[in-house]
Amino acid sequence: MPTHRPLITTRFDAASTADDVVAGLDLGGVRAVVTGGSSGIGLETARSLARAGGDVVLAVRDTGAGHRAAEDIARSTGRGGVRVAALDLADRAAVARFVQDWAGPLHLLVNNAGVITPGPARTAEGWELQFATNHLGHFALSLGLRDALAAGARERGGARIVSVSSTAHMRSPVVFDDLHFERRAYDPQEAYAQSKTANALFAVEATRRWAGDGIVANAVNPGGVATGLQRHFTQRQKDYLAEAEAAGVFTYKTAGQGAATTLVAATASELARTGGHYLDDCREAHTVPNDAELFGNSHGVKEWALDPATARQLWTVSLDLVGGEIGGAA
């Protein structure tokens, strides 16, 4: 599904940091939620938003780590007031509580949090944990906050959602006939890949449904960043990562560089009115065929991650799983 229009570019690149992106911006009055904002890319995203004057809420599973992160942001930026709220994306009741407790408009939702498991793990519903956390939890959260985002869009002329995906999306489409690995052999890398493809597809359909209300969503690939996500890797996963790095699939970035593309999607004027894109190294990625090898195409996005029909199907399936219990419009 190659695009025939010029790809969206910005003045930033792979070496840019999140602070570079927000330099000179005044985000005063911008209310932002960053999931997984207590460490890694999420922490640097929140730090840069706060540095530019944003009103930031860290939505985290471990509120103790969240408060330590908020204190760190205050020390490094001189801006206090970063708030912390409990959110376990794998727990539907916890997502519903977060939504219920939210009051007022929201201008920016950064769906950053994610998990990688070394082996099979399931939620209370029996859902595969990576898909449930990385996609379904963020889907339910976004759905629940949709009215707040619409209010934010009316207030400031637009609202944005940033969906953090990954190069890993190239390893697997969304496998609708076995989302939760109930019949196929469990492969944690394929499970993670499926969830990251879902993150990109969410941005496509959310924009189609909500752009009329001033809400746009874009997916971003932060690139290779060493974060806490890797702490549970199996040896096979570590070996694959080392092989990919040696082959030039990616070069490790700092967390600040990894957060730069998120900040581009969140603040750049080039993305203010357009969504459903997949960004890499601070610009829109080129589309590659579904049979393209990861090695040699790591800065592209596969067709299956941007396909509108697949995005609609995923939305319908996701709504069947989590809808009905979360506030907001579908």
Question: Quick one: tokens of 239?
Answer: 């070996």
Q: Which residue has the tokens 């727990």?
A: 91
**Other Cβ atoms within 10 Å of 7 Cβ, number:** 12
Report the amino acid identity of residue 184.
R
Question: Quick one: tokens of 35?
Answer: 């999931």
Helix, strand, coil shares of the chain, percent, nearest 5, are 45, 15, 40
CA-nearest of 260, 249, 185 to 221 is: 260
CA atoms within 13 A on the CB side of 4: 0
Question: Quick one: tokens of 84?
Answer: 């912390």
Active site residue 240: no
Could you write out the DSSP letters of every residue in 165-199?
Answer: --GGGGG----GGGTT-SSSPP-HHHHHHHHHHHH
Q: Directed axis angle between helix 188-210 and helix 308-322, to 10°?
A: 100
CA trace torsion 93, 154, 201, 140 (10° rounding)? 10
- The Cα–Cα gap between 270 and 277 comes to 12
Q: Could you tell me the CA-to-CA distances from 37 to 33, 90, 115 in Å, in that order?
A: 9, 16, 13
Task: Yes or no: say if 187 and 128 are a contact pair by the CB < 8 Å rule.
Answer: no
Tell me which of 186, 192, 240, 278 is the catalytic residue: 192
Task: Yes or no: say if 74 and 80 are a contact pair by the CB < 8 Å rule.
Answer: yes
Could you write out the DSSP letters of every residue in 213-241?
Answer: GTEEEEEEE--SB--GGGGG--HHHHHHH
Give catalytic residues, as residue numbers. Answer: 192
